[in-house]
Structures are given as structure tokens and as C-alpha cells.
Structure 1
């Protein structure tokens, strides 16, 4: 096991980054490095055989397995989540075992070719500047489990390395076990049990099979008993015969020695509205028939915005062709220099799996002014970044790799105040641009890429689904005209199935919008739009 935590002490001297599974750029770089390293390993084996060395069976097996992977699949294409998991699992586990075997096996450890290969291995790590750790293995496995549960993919397809009609090789037992362990950590008992059953069916060792059966029974018991609140205080049941009967019935069910597929299927939770929307639209044909597309007038008389209304009340719009490829390239290039793992209010959390990069408006004033002015012209809000009480935040660029997502949330920050509630005591510790900004009144989100599959933005309470459309932008208000946070605007980003997704947020604050967006005449008032822009 020591090899898996760093083959050499040298690993401690390089920059170890546990965010590889969230970055398509790092995954691709790791895949390219590993392919070159395998060529070096192949040359090392050839030289060792020429010198009459006896190659350990474990190294020969690894060589043939990795060679078959190369013949069957494009190992460097990281747009597939299962392939990305294979890569991280292999580099973290198998390559560590190879180096450990080379160092400990006396038949080859003293050969000159060993020192050469170890030097090439160290050089590869030095150039890469990051290396997979345990968190990356669990994270890439979690990405597969998230896609599996969110989109309801077929179990057989997943185990055979197929996802969204894209195939790779069949999963090995050791990879299924890693997936099962991650499912137990989350926990996702249904998926953990399904994977353990597959492992039990694959093995021909009766002792190993019995071990899996005992583990399945233990997890099943824990899952069933945990779901019944009455078991947390079983003494209460003895004062009530019906409750006692229910208590005993549950215990009998949980204590079954043979767990069938039907028993496991009962643990599968029905999909949430969020998950249903990720799988496809939920609006009825009648509701969809009310949606419209308009050429909407803007502050510039000769510029008409292409607005697609995806929800009427509260209004959610998708504006098409509002950013050029040149500006997209700039935003992605500048953000890539600053990307780091995305955070929530609780820090790093599996509810949000992506990379974030902030770009200052002053970094490229001409492009920032152009994009900000375009937003202002379309939605009639102040979007000019200022050094004091700025009505907008800086540009936030997000990169989602395969499996990346953002769970259900609202954009207003719960620790921040509404404009009219602000006090000097709470504002004085903030940077000048962030003082007296108020809440995030609205969200403008550019789509900087297309996505091969998945990645839609969904609003569960509205049953709204916004697809990813490159060069388009989604817009909605987070604050009602009455000044309160609109909790109907809970939304999330569905997991990316194949490919990668790039978006850029421009959050518009309350400061500067007093005469731009007027209050409603009543507490229940909604935003008013000209009749010609209503269904």
C-alpha cells in the first residue's frame, strides 16, 4: 500500500494537486503523460529481457492489460467519465505497484535500465507538477455514480464501460470495487449493493464470494434499519403493540441472510424533479405551446436581441448570439490561468464539482466594457463595474468536466444583506467595490461552449430546463419586485455526461438599479413586460 501514497519520497517535493478529477485540462495532460510513460516502460521491459532478467508476473500482466487498453480504446480522450476514472485509478494504483515491484524485486532492481526508467518516471512527475491522490480516485468514481443516478443509466451499460452510447472497455473487478467503496462513503447503498453483487457473480473463489455476501447482508441491514425512525428509540415500541409488530417486521426483513435483486431494487430512490429535468423536459405540450421567441428591442434602436422565453412567470430567458467566439476565447484563456476548485459556503463539497476562475473587469477593459454594455442594453440594468458600491461583480468563469455539476441552490448569498438592511458595522470589513452592493438581484450567464451530452441548467420549482447553447446567455431575476429573495428561482447545473461545459456569470447587484427596476404596485406583483413580448 505504501506505493499508492507516493512511490518515492520525491512525490513530496512536487506540487500534489487533488483537483485533477474536476479539470479536463489536467486529465488530458495526465493522459498524455501516462501514454509517454508507457512507451518508456515498454522500452524498459524490452531492455530487461535482452539482459536476461526475469520479469515479475505482476509487471507482465500490467503491461498486457495496458497494451490492450491502448488497442481497444483512445486512452487520451478524457471527455468520457468512465475513461477518466480508468486513468486516475490506473495511475494512482497500478503505476505505484509497478514502481514498488521494480524497487523491491532483486532480479531486476540492480540493472542499469531500472535507474533509467525511474529517472524518466521522476521527470514525468516533475514536468506535470501534479499527481493523482486518493481524493481523485474517489472524485472520479463519484462522477460516474452521479451520472448513473441522475440520468438513470442502465447498470449493464455502466459495468460494460458504456455511457450515453459512448463505449470503452469493460470494467475490471478492481475498478468495480473502487466504485463500490466510493458509493459506500457517500453513501449510495443501492449502487453499492449492485456493484457488490456484480463482484460476487464474477469471482470463482467461494471464500471471496462468501465475503461479498456477508458484506451485502451487513449493508442491507444497516440501510433498512436506518430508514425506520422507530428503531432509534425501540423501547417506545413496547408500549404500543402495533408499533412493536412493525418494529419486529422491519428487523426480520433487515436480517435476511439471502438478499435478492428485488430486495435491492426496493432501495432505489425515485428520481427527484431535478433529476427528471436533467433527463428531459417536464412541461406539458400545452405549457410549451405558450413559450415564444422575440426580436426584443434594446437601448440601441438598430440592435434587436434574440430572446427565447423558457418560462413566463417568473420570466427566464435565453438570449441567443450575444457573445462572439473572439470574446469566448479571451474569457476561457484568461480564466484557465486562474482556475481552482469551486467552493460552496461550506468549502469544497460534492454538491459543486467544477473549476472557477475570476477575471477582473480591469484586466481587459475594452472587452469587459463591450460585454457589460451589451448586457445593459438588453436587460436595462446598470452593469458598469465600479471601485465603490459596484452594481456588478467581476466575471466568474466556470469549467465543468465530465461528471461536473452544481446541485440545487439560489444565487443570492445568505450571509449578505438586502440593500435597505445594510449597516456600517457589517459593511466596513468588505473591500470597497463590495460595500453597499445589496443582494444579487439578477443573474446573466453566458454559455461559452456546447456540450456533447448533459449539462442543462434546470429550475425544479418552475419545471424549467435551459439547454447549453454556445454564444447564448440565460437571464433571470433572483429578487422579486417586492424586494424579497425569490425562492422559486432555485436552480442547478445538471452533470455533464460527455465533453466539457464552460459558462461565465455576471451577477448584477441591487446597487445602481433603483431607477432601473421599479418595485411592484402590490406585494404579489411580478415584473411587467410590454404586451408584444408576452404570449
Structure 2
């Protein structure tokens, strides 16, 4: 009864939850709850099977005991009229009863019916979720230069976080990367899959070797000749006589390697020179995320920490200068744990896939692969905590907050990231009807959670990496005092390697800011122009 109540409670919690899951850890919690329900259902099925099996086993044991006794003197046993009757009776009616018991067993149908109902009501990941999670793993692997074997073992940057992947997990991941034509990442995952399969106790069985032989074709198609040859040699070392047909494959592969052959999907689909992910800017971004690129020591020595008085009677801000030109500051211990948790809790039922403004400049917004998170918006006038966060930004900057966009609370899921971008709108941006607030003059990012690994805010042109610190506020100006874009403020959300990243964005518009931050008489954007079309 208790189990049934738990299942019913979880069902009621999950019934209305559908959508995208890989881009938010909040979504993943719904999937975890789905698996709790399915596990309970499967356990019910196993319990019913066990009860039925125990009843049948009891009958089997009784008959077997009788047979063992009869074996000591089969003639004597059969000459006993009671034994004869029991034998005839069992074969005439008991075994028919056993067959009927098996055929009428409702365990299987009950389980399948229950599962069919759950599929209508519970949250299940879509193909997009599966593909998104696969891409996220490879994004983490590439951004943080993770070793595939360690990643498959649940080790992230030298720290053991979770359960190791099975050879099947690695193979399915490699198979889907192959379908996505990401052959550079396909090869190491297939290699890891075959390595793990070879380590299993059944790794030397013919069925396993058949599977390895099939994977050879994957490598050969991609032009990964060394990987194909290694697998062929492994199979031949175990069954040299039964797999003699592979000798010709080995000879051919050795010949291709010696000739330096570059045929195969790996070479045909090489990224084009114009691919942003192969650009110097993107490499700088990844270096900043890894902590390999940062401000020069001479510039760091000019930075200072100080207490900044509040205009509204709040405790003084603990302000840390992170960069001087353009100014980037971080205020520590601004948001309480209680308020951070409240925003997360309130946002969870409302979050949906985060969007970006269309690159076409038509004012529309859409979901994009370069930004994977989920978010929800809060009006400052209707939410006391959101209003408080808006006041803090206004207090720090002196800016008028009347035309600020709604507070946006966002959560990043598996490998959640946002590639380098500007918050300010380009000159050709078309503002939507009724939007006369102007460009985004400044940005504030509240960190509502700590992140165990990754998830930092990277400024590739400064270069600067800001580590999420729960309760802190990161602030900078997107525009020069002239109103022109400051292209140096291009920034990104590094992929979350471990943990859940919650933030709240404040975007302040430029309308009515002329008294607070008056425009310079001279345009001064020249200093940032080299970063507008940075290679």
C-alpha cells in the first residue's frame, strides 16, 4: 500500500511535466522521478513473478522428492497403487493445471498495461534530448580537454563524480555521434567502447568478437585505419583460425597506413575555414574557460577590493574590481541563500528553453544550439525578491531601472553553455513594436548557486574568467559612453562540467540614462572596434 501511494504521489507530481530536458537540471529531476516510478512498477512485476515462481517451485520440489524416492526401487514404487494413482493423476490433471497457471499468469499483461499508461502520463526524453546530451558530453570533452577514458569512468578533471559508463553506453554515444557526422568524436568513443568490451568476462566470446568485427567497418568508413587495425589484431589474437578472413583486411589496412591514405569520412567532412568553432576567438574562449588565459599580472596588481556604500540604507557592498577598462566588478554576498532558493523554487515550474534574438536582426527570438539553458522571467513590480535584485543593480550603478527588462532566472543542464556573444544589440537590430527603451546599456548577472566545476563567465577579449559564487553580482557596461557597442564585452557561459548553475540576469536599457551616464561629446568606440570582427 505504501509503495502504491508513493507511485501515485509521483504520478501526480509528474503528470503535467513535458518538454526539453537536457538543457536544464530542473528538467533532469523530472526524468529521475520518471525512473523512480518505472523502477517501482518493474519491482511489482518481479514480485508477482517471484510469488508465482515460488508456488510452482514448491510443486516441483514435492514431485522431485517423490521421484528421488522412487529411484531407489522403481518397480516397488510403481507397484504401489497409491503411487500409481498419484502419477496418473499428476499427468492427467496436475500438469494441465500447471500449464493453465502459466498461461493465465497476469503478471506480464499487468506490467505492460501499467507501462502503457505511464508512457502517456510521465516525462520521457525525446530524440532531441538524447542528441542534446550526446553533444553536451562532447562539448565538455573538447572545451576542458577531457580524456575520454576518464570521462567514461565518471572522472571529471581528475575528480571521481559518478558511475562509470558501460561499453554499451560508449557505443551508443559513438553511434549517435556518427549519425550526427561528428566523426572526430565518434572515433574515441568507439575505441573506448571496444576497450571496455574487451575487458569484460564475455569479451572473448564469439558473439563479442562478431560485434568488434562489425565496429571495424565503422573505423574503416571514417578513415580511422589505425583504430580499425588495432581491433582486427585484437580479434585475430583470440580466434586466429576462425577469423582467417580478417588477414586480408589486416594486410589492406597496413598498406593504407604505410601509404598515408587520407580517404574516409574523417577527411571528407573536415570543418571549413569559416567555421566559428575553428576560429582564433573560439579557441581563446575555450582557453579562458580552462583557466589557461587570463589578465596579465601587471594589470591584476592595479585591481582592488573595497566597501561601496549603499544609497538606500543597505549594508555596504563588498566590491571587487575584476577589470578596469572596460570596468567589470563583482559584488559579494548581495543575495541571501533564502532569496536564491526562493527564485529557483519559483522558477522551476515555469522555465522553458532559453531563446536568443535572431541574427537576422528582425527582432524575433528563437532557441539556438549555442545557448542551452532554460529560463523564466519575473516582473520587478510583481515579485519582491526580483524588485530587490533590481534595486541592488540600480544602487551599484546609479542607473535608472524603470526601463530594465524583466529579471530572467536561468538554469543550465548537462554541459549547459552560451557561446561568446554581446548582450547589446547590433546597429541593424529592429526593435519590436512598443520597445522604445533603447539598447542594453549594462548587464548584471546574479549567481544563485555555486558550481562544482565549470560554468564560469568568460570574457575572451579581456581575458577574464569569473567563477560562479552563490549570492554575488557580476556587473559591466555593454556600451561606451557614446552609446556605441563596446565590443570588448563579448562574453560567454562556459559549459557546466559538474553541478547545477542558476543565475538571474538584469539587463538595463539606455532610455532616461542621459542624466546618470551622459554621452561623451566625442565618440570613443575606436578602442573596441578591433574586436568587432575578430578572427
- TM above 0.5: yes
* Contact 1:108/1:114 (8 A) holds in 2: no
Q: Encode CA deviations 1:44-80: one digit per residue, 9 max, x unaligned.
A: 1242244349xxxxxxxxxxxxxxxxxxxxxxxxxxx
Unaligned runs of 5+ in 1: 1-13, 54-105, 223-248, 260-267, 385-390, 418-425, 528-535
Q: 2: CA distance between counterparts of 1:257 and 1:345?
A: 34
Name the count of aligned residue pairs: 410
* Contact 2:177/2:186 (8 A) holds in 1: yes
* Contact 2:380/2:390 (8 A) holds in 1: no
Q: 2:222 aligns with which of 219, 229, 241?
A: 219
SS at 1:408's partner residue?
strand
Q: Which residue of 2 aligns with 1:183?
A: 177
Is 1:378 aligned to 2:396, yes or no? Answer: yes
Q: Which residue of 1 aligns with 2:350?
A: 338
Q: 2: CA distance between counterparts of 1:506 and 1:372?
A: 7
SS at 1:407's partner residue?
strand
Q: 2: CA distance between counterparts of 1:404 and 1:470?
A: 18
Q: 2:261 aligns with which of 243, 253, 264?
A: 253
SS at 1:253's partner residue?
coil
Change (3 A) 1:187 1:334: same
In the TM superposition, what is the alpha-carbon distance from 1:162 to its structure 2 partner?
A: 2.3
In the TM superposition, what is the alpha-carbon distance from 1:284 to its structure 2 partner?
A: 3.3
* Higher Rg of the two aligned structures: 2
In the TM superposition, what is the alpha-carbon distance from 1:220 to its structure 2 partner?
A: 3.4
Change (3 A) 1:157 1:305: same
Q: 2: CA distance between counterparts of 1:286 and 1:460?
A: 18
Is 1:272 aligned to 2:272, yes or no? Answer: no
Q: Which residue of 2 aligns with 1:147?
A: 140
* Contact 2:222/2:266 (8 A) holds in 1: no
Q: 2: CA distance between counterparts of 1:17 and 1:43?
A: 26
Change (3 A) 1:463 1:408: same
Change (3 A) 1:416 1:108: farther
Q: 2: CA distance between counterparts of 1:526 and 1:304?
A: 36
Change (3 A) 1:302 1:107: closer
4+ long deviations beyond 6 Å? 106-109, 256-259, 268-271
TM-score, normalized by length of structure 1?
0.68
* Contact 1:217/1:258 (8 A) holds in 2: no
* Contact 1:294/1:306 (8 A) holds in 2: yes
* Contact 2:221/2:265 (8 A) holds in 1: no
Unaligned runs of 5+ in 2: 1-14, 55-99, 199-203, 226-256, 268-276, 359-365, 528-535
In the TM superposition, what is the alpha-carbon distance from 1:255 to its structure 2 partner?
A: 3.2
Change (3 A) 1:408 1:107: farther
Q: Which residue of 2 aligns with 1:291?
A: 303
Q: Which residue of 2 aligns with 1:476?
A: 476
Q: 2: CA distance between counterparts of 1:372 and 1:302?
A: 14
In the TM superposition, what is the alpha-carbon distance from 1:314 to its structure 2 partner?
A: 0.7
Q: Encode CA deviations 1:426-453: one digit per residue, 9 max, x unaligned.
A: 66x62x4xx2111111101111111122
Q: Which residue of 2 aligns with 1:43?
A: 44
Q: 2: CA distance between counterparts of 1:108 and 1:284?
A: 76
What aligned pairs does 1:487-502 form with structure 2 within 5 A after superposition? Answer: 487-502=487-502
What aligned pairs does 1:383-532 form with structure 2 within 5 A after superposition? Answer: 383-384=401-402, 391-414=403-426, 417=429, 430=433, 432=434, 435-524=435-524
